[in-house]
Amino acid sequence: MNRKQLFELFAEHFGGVPDYPWEEPSDAAVFRHSDNRKWYALVMNIPSEKLGIQGNGNIDIVNFKCDPAVKGSYLALDGFYTAYHMNKTHWITADVAAADDEDILSAAELSYALTMKKQKPKKK
């Protein structure tokens, strides 16, 4: 998958559009819920060495919110890493080009669900 395909996936599955909250020339894109503005994904281009990958130049990554109970399962998959530049307990990072497309979609769906607006219980 590449960055364009990732953005198309977010648009198709979540109605997501990239938000660029930092001053140009930053290419870091945030994907948020429209109702609560919480992030469910952060896409960045970073030096591969930041993830311990030697000699690959810059790579596109995506950070997802993750339940700590399943974090280890994602980290066992190809292309997934401990979170870069985010809370390492509650976030994971995927190399957009190296991770399996279905695994990225699964992580995105989990992140989207974890960051949804909480429903308040109705009073009886």
Q: Percent of the chain having pLDDT more than 70?
A: 96
Q: Per DSSP, which regions of 1-124 are E strands?
A: 29-32, 39-47, 58-65, 80-82, 91-95
Pair type for strands 29-32 and 58-65:
unpaired
Span 30-68, pLDDT tens digits: 999 999 999 999 999 999 999 998 877 999 999 999 999
pLDDT greater than 70 at residue 9: yes
* Tokens read off for 28: 């870091």
- pTM (2 d.p.): 0.90
